[in-house]
A = this chain, B = another copy of it.
Amino acid sequence: MTAPFTSARTPDETARLAADTMWENDPACRNLGIEILDVGPGTATLAMKVVDTMVNGHDTAHGGYIFALADTAFAYGCNSYGTVTVAAQCSITFIRPGRRGDRLVASAREVSRQGRNGIYDVTISVDGTVIAEFRGHSRIVGGSFIDGDVSKVDTPAP
C-alpha cells in the first residue's frame, strides 16, 4: 500500500518540481539568461544580467527586460503549488535605472491567495538596492501540471 505520490511531497518539493517543469518548457526564460536562485511555496528568487542587447544608447536597461524578469519571478511564485496559473494584471514602478552589466535579482513573495486569485509582490534589486517594485495578480485556470492533470477549470486567458 502506498500513499498517493502528491501527498508524499513537501510544499518545498512541490515548488521545486513545479519550477523544474516550467523551466523545461520555457525557452523564452532561458534565452533571457534568467537563473532560478530559489523557489518555495509562493516564493521565487531569480537573477538576470543586463546584457548589451537589453540596453539603450545611455546604457540603461530597457524597462521591458526589467519587467520580463519580474514577471517571470511572479510566474514561478504563483505556479509553485503545481497548479496552472496565469498572469492577469501586473503593474511595475521604476525607481532607479538598471545599467549595462548589472545583475538584477527579483524576489517574489505571496501577498494573498484566495480562491483562484492571487497577489504577488516582486522586488527587483541590484546589489541590494531596489530599482523597481512589481505587483502581479494571478488566476488559477487549470489543474496540476506536475501530476498530469491538465484539465482546464476556466478560460486559458484570465
Contact = CB atoms under 8 A, between A and B. Distances in A.
Interface string A57-98: 110011111011101100100000000001111111111110
Interface residues of A, number: 55
Interface in A119-148: 119, 121, 130, 133, 135, 137
A115 interface: yes
A112 B130 contact: yes
Interface of A is mostly: mixed
B117 A158 contact: yes
Interface of A: 24-29, 31-32, 52-58, 61-65, 67-69, 71-72, 75, 86-97, 111-112, 114-117, 119, 121, 130, 133, 135, 137, 154-158
A91 B91 contact: yes
B94 A112 contact: no
Given A64-B68, A91-B89, A130-B112, A56 B25 contact: yes
Given A65-B64, A130-B112, A26 B156 contact: no
Given A25-B58, A28-B53, A114 B95 contact: yes
B92 A89 contact: yes
A62 B76 CA distance: 13
A63 B90 contact: yes
Given A89-B94, A93-B88, A94-B88, A26 B157 contact: no
A67 B89 CA distance: 11
Contacts of A52: 27
A112 B90 contact: no
